[in-house]
A = this chain, B = another copy of it.
């Protein structure tokens, strides 16, 4: 598949020249006409400029040109969207937000695939073959973290930038895409769509949407930069043992910080996180980033409400947090502690074998935090015992919390189901959580999301098993659930997958990432009315 390299290189050189010329021409034209106003809309160029300049240093002109080509392509797409004959199509699409969401994600993946196929993307200068590029781009966009190659040594610095970008877009994608859509096309959206978006975003006004987008960006950038700073000291050595030069070390810190915050689980080390198994600094930083990203913006924002802390005092804040936040925090804490305890007890002689007491403790906590959706591993998952493997399937299927970077059917979904079960046992017709009743529509949504997710997972897992008759059943099952829950944990079979198997895993990642979210949106559209004795509360599930 790599015999066409000289041909590809020539095309890439041509493309690089064309792109640099086009970009230069545009800049000159705008400068000539003093159309400074237009530059306000050129902020995406700035996004590409920084990595382009950095790529010049590490991957040479080809990397920079590739980035500019991608930017040009994005620009053309935006122009296409604004193009008059395309408007009816766009408007028809805008009336159906779910296909739009899926299309945006597909487009992101295709652009990412294209970028990773460029010669500049791999260290050997040949570019990734189509299926490797597609798998990596899907895995990055769906923040799954599964990989058929060793991300660190296979891809070049440019390739790593592409993955970083896809992870960032994919991790925040569901929230930002929805918010951006609501913001950008608010007049064209149908009432139903707007209603659904308001339901998900918990904001009703344009100011609300803008504020949300602003605070999300601010929180993301701040936490990722802080995370990178905290990780920097731990990343002294390259995977091969040499001391990393400062620029690469900065990038590595940034890459792992973004990967952790977006719950992506991509690592530049071939052993993922195993070398840091007992290192408190790296463990705490990554766990904090995973947790903050996985709790979801509504929860983080409610915790960052300084007014509440000042007014009520730290001891009484809990009672004044929104029910959604309290449910998320309690469920996450319960799953985290339970998972760590289970890992410690059940894995003592399996994946934790040969480690010291403190390493075992660190590894258990880290694995529990990372397992549900982040996908970093500080121990070898090929040694996983069957009982913990089974528990892991459940935890990966549950995933993180809604409105953040996490995958899975979401903690709140499971919490609602648990409280519904309690109501059932108590023979009550209404489900209440913490003195608030949960609307029947939410219960219905939680059931629908869980059951349909399970059905989709089953159907795709069936395809995977059919495509891979020779790989071990246990490992494939783990792989399927891991891909579907955007967890990215693997016992090591990912690189052994056949071409068809890789495609099925891509489908699992895509469906698993978008399925629960879009389902929750879809089910949210048809609400049943009912009168209840408790005041009603809103809990986002899926």
* Chain A residues at the B interface, C-beta cutoff of 8 Å: 346, 385-387, 390-391, 394, 417, 420-421, 424-425, 427-429, 440, 443-444, 447-448, 450-452, 454, 458, 461-462, 465-466, 469, 473-474, 522-523, 525-528, 530
Contacts and interface: CB of A to CB of B under 8 A. Distances in A.
Contacts of A530: 528
Contacts of A451: 417, 447, 450-451
Contact of A462 (B387, B443, B469, B473): B387
Nearest to A468: B386
Given A424-B522, A428-B526, 13 more contacts: A346-B466, A386-B466, A387-B469, A390-B458, A420-B448, A421-B452, A424-B448, A424-B526, A427-B522, A427-B525, A444-B447, A454-B454, A473-B473
19 contacts: A386-B466, A386-B469, A386-B473, A387-B462, A387-B466, A387-B469, A390-B458, A390-B462, A394-B458, A417-B451, A427-B522, A427-B526, A428-B526, A429-B528, A444-B447, A450-B451, A473-B473, A473-B474, A528-B530
A461 B394 CA distance: 12
Nearest to A441: B429
A461 B461 CA distance: 19
A153 B451 CA distance: 44
A386 B387 CA distance: 21
A399 B209 CA distance: 48
A307 to B, nearest CB: 39
A465 B386 contact: yes
A387 B468 CA distance: 10
B462 A523 contact: no
Among A421, A440, A465, A523, max chain B CB count under 10 A is at A465
A391 B462 contact: yes
Contact of A447 (B425, B447, B473, B526): B447
Contact of A465 (B387, B448, B454, B528): B387
Contacts of A469: 385-387
A451 B474 CA distance: 23
Contacts of A440: 440, 528
A220 to B, nearest CB: 33
A165 B466 CA distance: 42
